[in-house]
Structure 1
């Protein structure tokens, strides 16, 4: 009886493994519609991915994809919020943004290459050459959140369930943090501050930074589109002349890619002396890694907000 039971267990395990393997295999090949409307056929679940866009790499890392290489930023560096993770995983730094090296792409033997449709780190012009190396897909990080990108990445890699679990974990973290905060009354605005003589940017309510702050309970002030001083249109921001920043009415201001020192410099500027947020001394830096929202910088921002607006800090 005992031997029959063991045999039955082994047989069931083999059948289960076979059914799982079949289910996994049957998911491939799959077709992916790229951001430019073209279609890429991916024959098998990728095991060696390269990212030609440093802006996409953080989300690829956070979703635990089999990423083996990535392009860097303009000077060749990785974003500081995930640089250590990239080192721990032995990621190959392929080339600086704008300087594609096809030999480096060949050398790491990828079975999937990911390209950005837009941005300074786009390698769109080399797509056909990349396709001679491996299946190549095109994503557009400029029109969607990192969460939506993560879902696309799950589709590309067959890791849909894993991505869903990670997104659910993130949402729980946001909800838990929100319960610990005291949110100031009134609206909050978001500024990418570069100083006099340059175009500065004000966050739109539908932008990535605004959606993150909204998820924590802040009410985001919409900038006046008439202030737009650039022909370039962006979902996340409008670009304005320096003086127009003083027209914002929100009681709280958040500065992108800024710390407490930069926030204090902003509040000491006489041009902004009549801004409600300056009068309230409620100007805060979102942190030095807050320029690009990815899973790592999003958590950095949340942790920063948690320290600045904690209930026990009253």
Structure 2
């Protein structure tokens, strides 16, 4: 009698254990199948169900933000791939655009990040959950936090934001003490036939200099570039947009013959050796990797730190 009672009991126990195991792998909350776990991300285009821990991300935009949080990229846009700061991080990552739909399918992404202006959003959504961001809609710090939310790494993103703000503010205070609280800084970039001057939110270190460090931009720059973010002008107007210090965004493969002209050489900042050159290709984003690089560069340049 004892044996007959024992056998059904074992069968019932086995069924219960099996049922528990199945519930863990199908409800997305157990440890049995992490692939099925999802979260709902509140994107600017509405809620999107995305993997809780994405393993194969195609970033057609915001790739550098993803890299800074250790996101697992399988596809990246061309501009990010050419950036010297990201060289090691994009090794083995395919370069794709929104038009490379077949190539993106082959990469088997579980998450796609795209710009809201891209025309193939609906097609991308059929390949994998697609989250869009509008460039400039969020400031550089909140953009990082949003990528953190999307990748289930909000805590890490917020910790970096808080730490960076403190360090940049301290560096700005130190720099102002050295160069004078009224000293001005302009960020200028050379094109092939024209020049650009930037406001306080157009990469090239502008967020660090003007927002985080609270350095001053020249009155002319404020009038022309603060609202629009960027202003185009001709070479003869260089002296009008030059601050007491100039951050020159310089392309190594561009036309830099202006550096030999008298217009450039007679600018006070040039005469006083107050021009600091940054690599254009390494400065066109406002992600943590780029910002950390530029913060260090500005500290060394203004404060002459080794």
Structure-1-length-normalised TM-score = 0.71
Residues 1:234 and 1:59: Cα distance change in structure 2 (over 3 Å)? farther
CA contact (8 A) 1:141 1:149 kept: no
Q: Which residue of 2 aligns with 1:243?
A: 236
Q: State the alpha-carbon separation in 2 of the partners of residues 211 and 225 from structure 1.
A: 14
Q: State the alpha-carbon separation in 1 of the partners of residues 209 and 77 from structure 2.
A: 29
CA contact (8 A) 1:267 1:283 kept: no
1:127 aligns with 2:128: no
Q: Which moved more, 1:247-256 or 1:76-85?
A: 76-85
CA contact (8 A) 1:205 1:222 kept: no
Residues 1:69 and 1:204: Cα distance change in structure 2 (over 3 Å)? same
CA contact (8 A) 2:110 2:128 kept: yes
CA contact (8 A) 2:249 2:278 kept: yes
Residues 1:117 and 1:223: Cα distance change in structure 2 (over 3 Å)? farther
Q: State the alpha-carbon separation in 2 of the partners of residues 115 and 109 from structure 1.
A: 16
Q: State the alpha-carbon separation in 2 of the partners of residues 134 and 219 from structure 1.
A: 45
Structure-2-length-normalised TM-score = 0.73
CA contact (8 A) 1:191 1:256 kept: yes
Alignment of 1:77-226 (within 5 A): 77-87=81-91, 90=92, 92-95=93-96, 97=97, 100-118=99-117, 124-175=118-169, 177-178=171-172, 181=175, 183-185=178-180, 186-194=183-191, 198-208=193-203, 209-214=205-210, 215-223=212-220
CA contact (8 A) 1:191 1:254 kept: yes
CA root-mean-square deviation:
3.5
Residues 1:163 and 1:265: Cα distance change in structure 2 (over 3 Å)? same
Q: Secondary structure, in 3 states, of the residue corresponding to 1:69?
A: strand
CA contact (8 A) 2:189 2:196 kept: yes
Residues 1:111 and 1:222: Cα distance change in structure 2 (over 3 Å)? farther
Q: State the alpha-carbon separation in 1 of the partners of residues 111 and 100 from structure 2.
A: 16
Greater gyration radius: 2
Q: Deviations over 1:51-81 (max 9, x none)?
A: 113xx111110012233321323xx943111
Aligned pair count reads 266
Residues 1:251 and 1:126: Cα distance change in structure 2 (over 3 Å)? same
Q: State the alpha-carbon separation in 2 of the partners of residues 291 and 252 from structure 1.
A: 20
Q: State the alpha-carbon separation in 2 of the partners of residues 144 and 241 from structure 1.
A: 31
Alignment of 1:262-277 (within 5 A): 268-277=260-269
CA contact (8 A) 1:203 1:236 kept: yes
Q: Which residue of 1 aligns with 2:66?
A: 60
Q: Which residue of 2 aligns with 1:5?
A: none
Q: Which residue of 2 aligns with 1:294?
A: 287
Structure 1: state its 5+ residue gaps. Answer: 1-17, 119-123
Residues 1:222 and 1:59: Cα distance change in structure 2 (over 3 Å)? farther
Structure 2: state its 5+ residue gaps. Answer: 1-23
Q: Deviations over 1:5-62 (max 9, x none)?
A: xxxxxxxxxxxxx9xx68x9xx95424233xxx3242154133221113xx1111100
Q: State the alpha-carbon separation in 2 of the partners of residues 297 and 80 from structure 1.
A: 10
